[in-house]
Chain A
């Protein structure tokens, strides 16, 4: 497996507040990497920082994002513009407000082709637009529809069609199905994964819904308070999550298979950036907190061949 995107030691600040702390993650070719965490855990911020879409006052004080060996963070605006959507496309929450309400979806897809494929003639672009819509199972005459004329699920499919317009290497899906009902969620994600198999792109899948990640991703990184606290293959996380926070997340969604178990939430609420707890940010909510947890931050260490955990429970030194 060769890496297509390597995030190295990336930190993100909003003003003087650090939202993401020295995160390193690797996306391998053809892989679905899940990024899970509660609201405010820094998962979307991480994705926007890595693709240089972060708006002021957000900024990246340190780190590298390597795409095929070149650092995205040091590209010129011109180089970046060429790379965007060609190589890295993003599926936003299309059901919400990601499509411009006053431009037809056809034009919004066409915009991508017109900018990145200037040699394509109008009939070719229209044909490509139709092709993309049928790829995601939308009648091709919907090209002239406006977003408000489509259902939430259709808008999300349009968003996916748009992301695939230039056959990118990487597709980042940021809460792609959060606003949709469970049935449509699964249809759309299932379709996305089939398309991934035929087109062969890699996916970063960001969501708070860890049950979706367990089902649809190969590897899961769980974020808390701007740090990756556990990273392991999806099956490993599902079978035996090591970090108490991962266990808590899994316990707050109903299991898809296996015996019934009682749903448990995680007590307390996510930490405030302005007043991060000392030591491990999760210790005030952690059922197995020890003295050391409030004093020092555990580092992310490999505990098994394919698993990294940042927890004193796993640390042999304690």
Chain B
């Protein structure tokens, strides 16, 4: 329990540091968002409008940086992340909450699928080392070494241009209204096939390789030999004695990859114009939309922290050696 409390304290400090960095970074960059907006609108703003924009974005020139920091926290606690320029005047929080489910649904689910599939294949490949399964590894490694955007473009050109089996872009068919209906869900799934499959194809190799090699290492351990001598069934030895121990390093890798779902979604969502956080970030960067970028960065930071917390808890559950006595 003290272990958990100490971890929690660690996470709070990290969170504070991350948020503070998030506050400082845009203010350290040359130029400021209001200037960018003024340029964008082509100087059709009077000085009053400019001043109120500064206030609106929390960049009030008359306030000290400390006051701005306090205001920033006050706003953050209320869930107010400012207004987006790109989708002006939609609040950043709304933009994020609309795009987040898409990213979590697509990249999150496929990351989990890739991990489970790759780890399971790795367990078998490592257990039956030297069998035909080993030939799978060069193939999957080759697929994962293709740059993602290239893989995505090939997938589009083959499966939606040459053979129009799946839609090439978007999260659902244009003209449909997001609602809980069979037609809409079907459309969402159909649109998720190409980006989803390409994500799995490009990331599964790492899991297979990592798990296979750990399996080979663990299979040589004495306790696996003991398990065989005990006359346990092959299945029991493979999963309870070998895979159980071999999966531990993969767990931390998996947690990290969960943390990078949001950041990693950028390429996928660009290639497939998928309405998730990555695509929003892409648009935000193009438009120098500081509040939006800040919001996305905050989400990425939180995601990494939460993923790390999950990894910690997972380790506690799976590896008794990490538990504190008492």
**Which residues of the partner chain B approach A252 to less than 8 Å between Cβ atoms?**
none
- Give the interface size class of chain B: 20 to 34
The proximity string for A residues 96-124 relative to B, scoring 1 for CB distances below 8 Å and 0 otherwise, is: 11111111100000011001100000000
Of the candidates A81, A89, A102, which one forms a contact with B318 in the assembled complex, judged by CB atoms under 8 Å apart? A102
- Asked whether A299 is an interface residue with its Cβ less than 8 Å from the other chain, the reply is no
| Closest B residue by C-beta to A86 | B231
- Asked whether B240 is an interface residue with its Cβ less than 8 Å from the other chain, the reply is yes
- Asked whether A148 is an interface residue with its Cβ less than 8 Å from the other chain, the reply is yes
| Closest A residue by C-beta to B218 | A100
Measured CA separation A97–B244 after assembly (Å): 16
| Closest B residue by C-beta to A115 | B232
CB distance from A170 to the nearest CB of B (A): 12
CB distance from B71 to the nearest CB of A (A): 49
B228 touches A102 (CB 8 A): no
| Closest A residue by C-beta to B226 | A98
**Which residues of the partner chain A approach B227 to less than 8 Å between Cβ atoms?**
100, 111
B320 touches A102 (CB 8 A): yes
| Closest A residue by C-beta to B129 | A56
* Docked complex: A113-163 residues within 8 A CB-CB of B: 115-116, 146, 148-149, 162
CB distance from A252 to the nearest CB of B (A): 27
The proximity string for A residues 265-296 relative to B, scoring 1 for CB distances below 8 Å and 0 otherwise, is: 00000000000000000000000000000000
| Closest B residue by C-beta to A145 | B320
B226 touches A90 (CB 8 A): yes
B321 touches A115 (CB 8 A): no
The proximity string for A residues 72-91 relative to B, scoring 1 for CB distances below 8 Å and 0 otherwise, is: 00000000111111100110
- Asked whether B222 is an interface residue with its Cβ less than 8 Å from the other chain, the reply is yes
**Which residues of the partner chain A approach B320 to less than 8 Å between Cβ atoms?**
101-102, 104, 146, 148
> Which one of A86, A104, A115 has the highest number of Cβ atoms from chain B below 10 Å of its Cβ?
A115
Measured CA separation A190–B226 after assembly (Å): 23
**Which residues of the partner chain A approach B236 to less than 8 Å between Cβ atoms?**
111, 115
Of the candidates A92, A116, A148, which one forms a contact with B231 in the assembled complex, judged by CB atoms under 8 Å apart? A116
- Asked whether A302 is an interface residue with its Cβ less than 8 Å from the other chain, the reply is no
- Asked whether A177 is an interface residue with its Cβ less than 8 Å from the other chain, the reply is no
- Asked whether B223 is an interface residue with its Cβ less than 8 Å from the other chain, the reply is yes
A100 touches B232 (CB 8 A): no
A92 touches B232 (CB 8 A): no
Of the candidates A53, A81, A97, A162, which one forms a contact with B221 in the assembled complex, judged by CB atoms under 8 Å apart? A97
- Asked whether B233 is an interface residue with its Cβ less than 8 Å from the other chain, the reply is yes
Q: Given that A93-B222, A115-B236 are contacting pairs, would A101 and B321 also be in contact in the complex, using a CB cutoff of 8 Å?
A: yes
Measured CA separation A96–B222 after assembly (Å): 8
| Closest A residue by C-beta to B241 | A100
The proximity string for B residues 129-144 relative to A, scoring 1 for CB distances below 8 Å and 0 otherwise, is: 0100000000000000
Measured CA separation A58–B222 after assembly (Å): 16
Measured CA separation A81–B229 after assembly (Å): 8
B245 touches A102 (CB 8 A): yes
A111 touches B232 (CB 8 A): yes
A98 touches B223 (CB 8 A): yes
Measured CA separation A112–B229 after assembly (Å): 10
**Which residues of the partner chain A approach B225 to less than 8 Å between Cβ atoms?**
53, 55, 92, 98
- Asked whether B44 is an interface residue with its Cβ less than 8 Å from the other chain, the reply is no
**Which residues of the partner chain B approach A53 to less than 8 Å between Cβ atoms?**
225, 228-229
**Which residues of the partner chain B approach A80 to less than 8 Å between Cβ atoms?**
231
**Which residues of the partner chain B approach A28 to less than 8 Å between Cβ atoms?**
none
B233 touches A81 (CB 8 A): yes
Q: Given that A98-B223, A102-B245 are contacting pairs, would A51 and B229 also be in contact in the complex, using a CB cutoff of 8 Å?
A: yes
- Asked whether B325 is an interface residue with its Cβ less than 8 Å from the other chain, the reply is yes
**Which residues of the partner chain B approach A100 to less than 8 Å between Cβ atoms?**
223, 226-227, 241, 244-245
Measured CA separation A53–B241 after assembly (Å): 16
CB distance from B236 to the nearest CB of A (A): 7
CB distance from A105 to the nearest CB of B (A): 11
**Which residues of the partner chain A approach B319 to less than 8 Å between Cβ atoms?**
101-102
Of the candidates A84, A102, A148, A149, which one forms a contact with B229 in the assembled complex, judged by CB atoms under 8 Å apart? A84
**Which residues of the partner chain B approach A162 to less than 8 Å between Cβ atoms?**
230
Of the candidates B230, B233, B241, which one forms a contact with A112 in the assembled complex, judged by CB atoms under 8 Å apart? B230
Q: Given that A100-B223, A102-B320, A102-B321 are contacting pairs, would A85 and B229 also be in contact in the complex, using a CB cutoff of 8 Å?
A: yes
The proximity string for A residues 167-211 relative to B, scoring 1 for CB distances below 8 Å and 0 otherwise, is: 000000000000000000000000000000000000000000000
Q: Which 6 A-B pairs have the closest CB atoms?
A: A84-B231, A100-B223, A146-B320, A97-B222, A98-B222, A81-B231
Instruction: Give me the interface of B with A, judged by CB distance under 8 Å.
Output: 130, 220-223, 225-233, 236, 240-241, 244-245, 248, 318-321, 325
Not counting A84-B228, A92-B226, A101-B245, a sample of 16 additional A-B residue pairs whose C-beta atoms are within 8 angstroms of each other reads: A80-B231, A83-B231, A84-B231, A85-B229, A90-B229, A92-B229, A96-B222, A97-B221, A98-B226, A102-B245, A103-B244, A111-B230, A115-B230, A115-B236, A116-B231, A148-B320
Instruction: Give me the interface of A with B, judged by CB distance under 8 Å.
Output: 51, 53, 55-56, 80-86, 89-90, 92-93, 96-104, 111-112, 115-116, 146, 148-149, 162
Q: List 21 A–B pairs whose Cβ atoms lie within 8 Å, in order of A's numbering.
A: A53-B225, A83-B231, A84-B229, A92-B222, A97-B221, A97-B223, A98-B223, A98-B226, A100-B223, A102-B248, A102-B319, A103-B240, A104-B320, A111-B227, A112-B231, A112-B232, A115-B232, A146-B320, A146-B321, A149-B325, A162-B230
